[in-house]
Amino acid sequence: MKRAEIIAQLKTLIIPGIIAGVMLIAVCVILLVWNSLKAGQPEQFAATRYGGGDITQVSAYFAAGTGLTYDQLRTTERTLGADDQTVVQSWSLSSQSLEAAPNEAVAKNTVKLDATAVGGEYFLFHPFPLKSGAYIQPDDLMRDRIVINKQAAWLLYGSNNIKGKHVTIRESLYIISGVVDDGNANACAYVPYEMLPADTKFPVYEAVLTNKFTGYALTALKAVTGFGGAALVENTSRFAIPQVWNVLLTFNDRVQQTNAISYPYWENRARVVENKLALLLLFGGLLLIWPIILIFMVVIKVINLIVNTIEISAAKAYRGY
């Protein structure tokens, strides 16, 4: 085949190649958006913060009025620990309305707080940026420390740097351990679960567990007594392509959710992100179709050119012989 003919055939691929290049750039943009959406969900990566490896984060959400009591939480920890599980757990109950009054302020106006009662390693799962101070920890000897957000800090003391200041809640004195930026526009507090009655049921349970093989941790949690009516989530890998593909396949069922579980805001946000990633996966897959087809076309053309060149060379050699 003559050189001019080869060049002419290659020129026919210029416009399709430009289109394929634009599509590949669009796919790269989709990947950047994908990673950005994942990065905005810090509540889903407690296992990574804990140390990674063969561990994973799982969550259980119960319907309003149900959940795990403190005794059930201890039983859960013992049951999972007996199975050689790494058990780092947290539990919480939101929507507690409390009134707090500052003790070291001139104006002692009462501030209404949206409180979340927390236990275990809550701030491993919810690493709100600290403005000052420190988180409360499960091994604190005294259970009289609380964490508040910056809105509550300004309403109480007019500053974020108020570590060690005191507030009165339900006629008891509590120490402000830290101030966080939790992204909430309301005044919020994170208080020790011991503030609530002993038989309180906690509707949110989160844990970092050993994952000996894919799905092992979630299966182990399902086997524990008390989790039968809960919605269970394996957080660590939920944004991986296979899981997002499954979201795409079950998209209609997700939209028509009928259970009575009221998910916390971070889970609702993560579910919205899953839906967005599913659409990005679909769109990205469609964009890759033409580049893949073009690659096959180029490969076929190159093979044809090589075959034609060999045949012409062989014919010339034969005639010359």
Within 10 A of 273 (CB to CB), how many other CB atoms are there? Answer: 19
Q: Report whether 58 contacts 206 (CB < 8 A).
A: yes
Q: Are 191 and 146 in contact (CB under 8 A)?
A: yes
Radius of gyration, alpha carbons of the chain: 29
Q: What are phi and psi of 39, to 5 degrees?
A: -65, -25
* pLDDT (0 to 100) of residue 260: 77
- Residues of the chain where predicted confidence (pLDDT) is lower than 50: none
pLDDT, residue 1, reads 52
Nearest Cα to Cα of residue 148 among 188, 116, 96: 188
Instruction: Provide the pLDDT for residue 257.
Output: 63
Q: What pTM was computed for the model?
A: 0.85
pLDDT at 314: 73
**In the numeric block, which tokens belong to residue 92?**
């919480």
